[in-house]
């Protein structure tokens, strides 16, 4: 069930009032929350809409409440707060997944164009979890992730693999690299210094490689961490 429905049922009004893309949209900014100011000699600037304060909702909608909060207060909640706010089980599974991926700080009303690259990649993962036998390509899913949450990301990736998916992950994160079943190392350096395949194989073989810079970094990293790479599955 969508949040709009919960508000509609609690207040006996149309659920469209609780959507920024529908009847709930602020008339001044059309639900976008920002106003553009045209400047003659510089790029246009955007500022928060003065009618809705940036929420995108018509002020009249704010009188309706669900569990004593209005729609803007609910949209401003983080996933972590929302997990306790909504009745048991309602959104638990989705919230749980976001928490597992270290995304508990995202707010419910956050606009998708405000997500960082790493956040976008991790959100993409939540959609893939129910699939199997798929090839999933991820571009640096660990970007911006708190180091403590890397393990959560790895658990997630392992669940997808257990579900018979194939993941092709482009990564610099050594914890993620250490868990891969097969590595294609492109170098010898980064950016314009790269372009050649310098190594292909398992983590165990990479650790023995004397040419690859990734190998040297990975050996150092594992020594510092005191951890061990995933055992060769074959």
Nearer to Zn ion, 29 or 108 (CB): 29
Q: Which of 26, 103, 108, 177: binder of Zn ion (CB under 5 A)?
A: 26
Candidate ranges 21-29, 73-81, 88-96, 134-142; the one touching Zn ion (CB under 5 A): 21-29
- Nearest C-alpha neighbor of 157 from the set 147, 171, 167: 167
Report cis status (omega within 30 of 0) of the bond before 85.
no
Closest distance to Zn ion from the beta carbon of 42 (Å): 23
Nearer to Zn ion, 28 or 126 (CB): 28
34 binds Zn ion (CB under 5 A): no
Q: What is the rounded CA–CA span in Å between residue 72 and residue 49?
A: 14
Q: What is the rounded CA–CA span in Å between residue 125 and residue 122?
A: 5
**CA geometry: angle at 142 spanning 137 and 144, to 5°?**
135
Q: Which of 25, 49, 71, 101: binder of Zn ion (CB under 5 A)?
A: 49
Nearer to Zn ion, 28 or 110 (CB): 28
Q: What is the rounded CA–CA span in Å between residue 27 and residue 18?
A: 14
Token couple for 167? 């993941």
Nearer to Zn ion, 12 or 63 (CB): 63
Strand partners, 95: none
Q: What is the rounded CA–CA span in Å between residue 33 and residue 53?
A: 7
Q: How many residues bind Zn ion (CB under 5 A)?
A: 6
Binding characters for Zn ion, 51-80, by CB under 5 A (x = yes)? xx----------------------------
Nearer to Zn ion, 107 or 159 (CB): 107
- Nearest C-alpha neighbor of 66 from the set 86, 89, 83: 86
Residues that bind Zn ion (CB under 5 A): 26, 28-29, 49, 51-52
């Amino acid at each position: 069930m969508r949040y709009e429905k919960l508000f509609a049922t609690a207040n006996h009004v149309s659920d469209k009032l609780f959507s920024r893309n529908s009847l709930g949209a602020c008339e001044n900014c059309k639900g976008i929350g920002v106003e553009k100011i045209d400047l003659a000699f510089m790029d246009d600037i955007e500022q928060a809409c003065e009618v809705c304060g940036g929420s995108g909702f018509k002020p009249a909608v704010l009188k309706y409440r669900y569990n004593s909060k209005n729609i803007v207060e609910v949209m401003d909640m983080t996933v972590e707060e929302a997990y306790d706010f909504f009745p048991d089980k309602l959104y638990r599974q989705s919230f749980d997944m976001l928490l597992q991926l270290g995304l508990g700080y995202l707010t419910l009303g956050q606009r998708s164009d405000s997500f960082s690259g790493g956040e976008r990649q991790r959100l993409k993962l939540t959609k893939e979890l129910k699939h199997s036998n798929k090839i999933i390509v991820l571009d640096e899913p660990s970007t911006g992730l708190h180091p403590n949450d890397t393990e959560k990301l790895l658990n997630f990736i392992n669940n997808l693999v257990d579900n018979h998916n194939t993941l092709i992950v482009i990564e610099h994160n050594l914890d993620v690299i250490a868990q891969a079943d097969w590595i294609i190392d492109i170098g010898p350096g980064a950016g314009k210094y790269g372009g050649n395949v310098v190594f292909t194989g398992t983590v165990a073989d990479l650790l023995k490689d004397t040419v690859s810079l990734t190998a040297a970094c990975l050996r150092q990293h594992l020594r510092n961490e005191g951890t061990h790479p995933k055992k060769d599955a074959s």
